[in-house]
Amino acid sequence: MSEPALISAIVPTLNEEACIESCLQRLRLAGVDELIVVDGGSDDRTLELARSEADRVLVEPGGVFQQMNRGAREAGGGILIFQYADGSLGEGACSEIRRTLEDPAIAGGAFRLCLDRPGLFYGAVSLCSDWRNRLGFGPFGDQSIFVRAEVFRREGGFPQDGILPDHELVRTLYRSGGFKLLREPVQVSARRWERCGKWSTLLRHWWYSALYLGGLRRSRQAVTRGTEILRKVR
């Protein structure tokens, strides 16, 4: 019997001193073999704290998807997880990933979204995320997307132009063999929802998804205009 594939987690950061240590520790508990932090230019203690826990710490300006592509190029594992610093996977996550990828038809997958704030609004967002994924719209990047390393590299990684590169990767994975949404959740901080406004954040997600589904995947002008409008909504 062949040895199980090593799992590398790529964690993009930018001023994440409040959560980077606990994120990396939880990834170890989840069974990750290699931890790679790719920083976008933090001016707090993120790099210092990351070096105490991660196997490798890289610096790559240019945005979160460029950071994750850089980490993937440097990773040694046969399976890649893209984990945002404010997310938390359960202890059995890596075992579940390996079981899922025992099926050679599956190229990758993701976890269910569970926001860490109580209340009807956040519960509804998590539930709607489940239905959106089941209807084939695909997860966002904070849902701990995982993928076979050879597939990710063959397909060119996250695209560097257009909107929703995470959706575009999922689309690619569907074409490359299959994509599976696991039942296990990833707990994600609702801090961005709180900081930017709950309704503004929700409408922004809908706006981007509408542009994407409408075929305007490369329309930066539409994204910019929509973001300007949605900033006024709280």
Predicted confidence (pLDDT) per residue in 194-219, tens digit = 676 676 766 776 666 666 665 655 55
Place of tokens 């205009």: 225
Predicted confidence (pLDDT) per residue in 46-64, tens digit = 999 999 999 999 999 989 9
Predicted confidence (pLDDT) per residue in 6-30, tens digit = 999 999 999 999 999 999 999 999 9
List the one residue out of 183, 189, 97, 175 whose CA is nearest residue 142: 189
DSSP 219: -
Please give the CATH topology (third level) of the domain spanning 7-192: Spore Coat Polysaccharide Biosynthesis Protein SpsA; Chain A (3.90.550)
13 DSSP β-pair partners:
39
Length of the chain (residues) = 234
- As given in the structure block, the two tokens for residue 63 are 């945005």
Q: How many whole angstroms separate alpha carbon 169 and alpha carbon 106?
A: 14
Taking a C-beta distance cutoff of 8 angstroms, is the pair 94, 31 a contact?
Answer: yes
Taking the domains of the chain in order of start, what are their residue ranges?
7-192, 197-234
Taking a C-beta distance cutoff of 8 angstroms, is the pair 4, 31 a contact?
Answer: no
